[in-house]
Amino acid sequence: MTEKSKYSLYNYLLLLGTILMLFVFTKDFYFEYVETKAQSQTLQQTITQKNEEYDKLTKIKSEINSPKNKDLNLKKFLIKFSEDELLDYF
């Protein structure tokens, strides 16, 4: 073996050992990063869904509060009643 190939073999082994040590010490950080990223994507999807629901509710609220619906008597639908009173009525 020549002197040059001997040093290149040592350099290769040193590089391989360094990469292996780097993987061993950083694998937990990597897996934690992947898990955090997945949770972040899930939360972003949830936020998007909730914003869409909020927009729908805001639209319904504006339709209810519009002048054309002001003359409707919506309070009669908000009356609380019990089943006993309803059965007694019938």
Q: What is this structure's pTM?
A: 0.52
Q: What is the pLDDT of residues 12-46, one digit of tens each?
A: 999 999 999 998 999 999 999 999 999 999 999 99
Owning domain of residue 9: 3-89
Q: φ and ψ at 57, to 5 degrees?
A: -65, -40
Close Cβ partners of 63 (under 8 Å, ≥ 6 residues apart): 69
Q: Which of these, 65, 64, 43, 46, lies nearest to 54 by C-alpha position?
A: 46
Q: What is the pLDDT of residues 33-85, one digit of tens each?
A: 999 999 999 999 999 999 999 999 999 888 877 767 666 666 667 777 777 87
Q: How far apart are CA 9 and CA 56, in angstroms?
A: 67
What type of residue sits at position 38? A
How many domains, in total, are found in the chain? 1
